[in-house]
Chains A and B, each alone.
Chain A
Amino acid sequence: MRISTKGRLATTTALATIGLIAGMIWWANQEVEDASGRRRQTTELTRGLTELRLVTFEYMLHRHERPRQQEREVTERLARLIDASPFSGAGQREVLDHLREHSAAAHRLFEELAATPGADGANTADAESTRRFEAQLSSRLLILQQESLADAFRLTDFSAERINAAQQRVVIVILAGLALIALTTGGAAWLINRKVLAPIKRLEEATREVAAGNWNYKLDLAGDDEIADMSRNFDAMTHSLRTSFAQIERSNQELAALNQEIEAFSYSVSHDLRGPLRSMDGFSLALLEDYGDKLDDEAKDSLQRIRAASQRMGRLIDELLGLSRVTRAELKLKPVNLSEIAREIADTLAQQQPPRAVQWQIEEGLMVHADKALLQIAMQNLLENAWKFTGKVDEPVIRVGATERDGKQEYFVADNGVGFDMVYADRLFGAFQRLHHESEFPGTGIGLAIVQRVIRRHEGTIRVEAKPGLGAAFFFQLREQSHG
């Protein structure tokens, strides 16, 4: 059964239980109120009978009209009370019938007594008869009224019994309701624990296991509720992740092997090419030196060109080897003072070309967590580029600093040199890509490729902003050091 269905069922059961208990309490309360009403009426009846007894005695003592009139009134009131009585049980009806009969008989006897002339004026025999008659009537009246009172008390007892029974029912209903609620609560707690909380605990264990890297953990919960569905989905997810990771692992291994092969190939190619180049340059130089006097100018020029081309190719190979080393070198991360590196490179460049008056603005205290040797290579390339492309500016300025972008620290190397059109920006970091002719600004076109590779090895990013004639600025971020 679904948890949602169970929830609805539990809610319905709880509401039905509460409704049932409320209904039973209402019913029992009605019983109490009904019984109380009956008791009030029997109290009225008892009061009427007591009053009747009082006025009967008063009449017997003084034979006045006033108590006789009161006796009639009370008798009529009693008759109305008896007729309006709500008692319906067989025993109660029997008592009411007695009351009705006794009340009528008592009134009849009272009227006979009132109609009997006194014995004073009669002869002795008649006087004795009358005296006995009156005595008998009085006794019968007493008996009837006493029995009526006893009957009224019986009705009071019936009412009290009914109230007691109703109160007992209220107690039983409340006890039964409490037991029902306790059982329902216990049952619900047991069910929730067994069907919901225990599976959720297993699910939580499973997520912990998977978070710890145990991709083979399997939940395998049986059932047809939401948690069982979730368990099946969880198992499917871990299965899918296992497959994906295996694929990624295989691809990584293949890529690493391929990279290694490419690196080895490019290294051997670069290294092996240097021999023939050195021969070409060496033999050209030997020709110039040994047979220079026998060669005309055109031949000499050709040999010079061969030498220049060989040397340029040698530099290209050196750059390629450098790029390869950047890729293969092992990272040794530690705190590195970027400002200090920039300052040292600037000093070196200034010494190489003392006539150039470049204004250096290097922010102090720039600290990064990086491989110092690789970072030096990257900064060397960036600062040499800036130095080179400000060569034709009247007041060259090169800045090194840091700024914040999207909440992350970003470092920059900026200049006010020739700049370039941002349309060509995506070509900028490719090997041997150049935006200016070599005759204008010499270079191999591999420097920025090396910079990008260094930054990537630090799991960072690099971007550029430039405008023709206004300069260029290179911004880079490095992966922030984990504090854990």
Chain B
Amino acid sequence: MQNPQARAGAVAAITVMIVVAVALAYASGSGMFTKPAAPIEKLGIALATTPDAALLHIAAAKGYFAEEGLAVTLTLVSHGKVALDLLARGQADLASAADAPFVISVLKGERLGIAATVVNVPNEMAIVARRDRGIAAPHDLLGKRIGVTLGTNGEYFLWAFLIRHKLAPDSVTLVDMPPGRMAQELASGTIDAVSTWEPIRSKAHAALADNARTFTGADAYTATQVVVGRSEFLKARPGAVERLMRALLKAEAFNRSQPQQALEIVADRLKLEPKGLLESGWKDFQLKVDLRQSQLVTLEDQARWAMARGYADQGPVPNFLLHLHLDALLAVLPERVTVVH
């Protein structure tokens, strides 16, 4: 090329082209171009009308399931144990429940797996007691009649609370009742206390008003909600479970960025006043999708409790690692899986 100006122009043009090509390669490598949509998958999920299932409620309300290509049918139940029963009967693909009933189901031989934990609440569980029955401190519970829903984390919390205060678990009388009756039974005086979760706990407290004495036990037990499925299902439908994880992570991000709106959505779906939900310790609800190593310790403690309580025969503690379905969350957001694997 004879003309130096033309040569300089050509060099400049080539440089620009190289820069643009590198930028495009960089952009494509960083995932700026989206993949084509996959066909819609159907999922049936049974979940409790409790704040513990908040992420599932938010995902449904915000349309995140649909965004991720899921057609989700939600079946609302009073508490997680009922949701697990629906799962056991094949009436749901997945269930949202507390860890204690999940452990009992596993001990009973159910082939279940946890896809993810969706909430941790250190102070949700509580014992609400009647002051007029002389209950002012934990040891005052000895010999009292305490209402629980057997086989739930309400019962497990009472056990852990008593041990935390060096009290024998069999020194109290357990009265089995559904969560919906607890506030009424406590107010009527047929029982001296209840051990339960939100929003029943707040209702019980409100029913007693000044006569209420509430005990929490963050050092004894951190309430945990898990999304559970049959092991075969979780293995057979990995794509659907991964989409569910993405939708739940979107709900988690929404709660982090728009906490007030998230509160209003949950209150609306649980038919509660936002103020009431706030008063029931909503701020302590750590809405987060993960699978933690520490959870295995709790599951094993709960297994020992369940065997001690006769929900299963005495024997070795099961290997709960086999009941954690890590694949979906590992595929979507691996840093959320801290289980040693």
Q: Which residue numbers of A lie inside 8 Å of B, CB to CB?
A: 90-91, 105, 108-109, 125, 128-130, 132-133, 135-136, 139-140, 142-144, 146-147, 150, 153-154, 157, 168, 171-172, 175, 178-179, 181-183, 185-186, 189-190, 192-193, 197
Contacts and interface: CB of A to CB of B under 8 A. Distances in A.
Contact of A189 (B8, B222, B297): B8
20 contacts: A129-B166, A139-B301, A146-B297, A147-B292, A150-B292, A157-B335, A168-B30, A172-B26, A178-B19, A179-B16, A181-B15, A182-B12, A182-B16, A182-B19, A186-B12, A186-B13, A186-B16, A189-B8, A189-B9, A190-B9
B9 A186 contact: yes
A170 to B, nearest CB: 12
A142 B335 CA distance: 20
A147 B224 CA distance: 14
A153 B9 CA distance: 51
A90 B259 CA distance: 13
Interface string B165-209: 011100000000000000000000000000000000000000000
B270 to A, nearest CB: 24
Q: How large is the interface on B (under 10, 10 to 19, 20 to 34, 35 or more residues)?
A: 20 to 34
Interface of B: 5, 8-9, 12-13, 15-16, 19-20, 22-23, 26, 30, 160, 163-164, 166-168, 218-220, 222, 256, 292-294, 297-298, 300-301, 335, 338
A108 B218 CA distance: 12
A129 B298 CA distance: 19
Contacts, number: 88
B167 A129 contact: yes
Given A136-B220, A153-B338, A182-B19, A142 B297 contact: yes
Nearest to B12: A186
Contacts of B30: 168
Contacts of B8: 185-186, 189
Given A129-B167, A154-B335, 12 more contacts: A129-B163, A130-B166, A136-B160, A136-B220, A136-B301, A150-B338, A175-B22, A178-B19, A179-B20, A183-B16, A185-B12, A186-B9
A1 B222 CA distance: 76
B294 A142 contact: yes
A133 B23 contact: no
Identify the 9 closest CB pairs spanning chains A and B, nearest first: A186-B12, A182-B15, A146-B294, A143-B294, A193-B5, A150-B338, A189-B8, A179-B19, A182-B16
B138 to A, nearest CB: 13
B56 to A, nearest CB: 22
A172 B9 CA distance: 24
- Interface of chain A, main secondary structure: helix
A130 B166 CA distance: 7
A193 to B, nearest CB: 4
A94 B215 CA distance: 26
A147 B294 contact: yes
A175 B294 CA distance: 45
A193 B23 CA distance: 29
Contact of A171 (B26, B166, B297): B26
Contacts of B298: 139, 143
Nearest to A91: B256
A190 B8 CA distance: 9
A466 to B, nearest CB: 65
Given A150-B292, A171-B26, A140 B163 contact: no
A165 to B, nearest CB: 11
Contact of A143 (B5, B16, B297): B297
A132 B20 CA distance: 67
Contact of B163 (A133, A171, A192): A133
A147 B293 CA distance: 8
Nearest to A182: B15
A108 to B, nearest CB: 8
- Most-contacted residue by chain B among A109, A168, A175, A189 (CB, 10 A): A189
Contacts of A136: 160, 163-164, 220, 301
A157 B335 CA distance: 8
Contacts of A181: 15
Nearest to A133: B166
Contacts of B9: 186, 189-190, 193
B335 A189 contact: no
A105 B219 contact: yes
Contacts of B293: 146, 150
B319 to A, nearest CB: 17
A88 to B, nearest CB: 16
Nearest to B15: A182
Contacts of A130: 166
A189 B7 CA distance: 10
A150 B15 contact: no
Given A105-B218, A136-B160, A185-B12, A197 B168 contact: no
B306 to A, nearest CB: 15
B290 to A, nearest CB: 8
A183 B16 CA distance: 7
Contacts of B13: 186
A154 B333 CA distance: 13
B168 to A, nearest CB: 6
B25 to A, nearest CB: 11
A324 B256 CA distance: 119
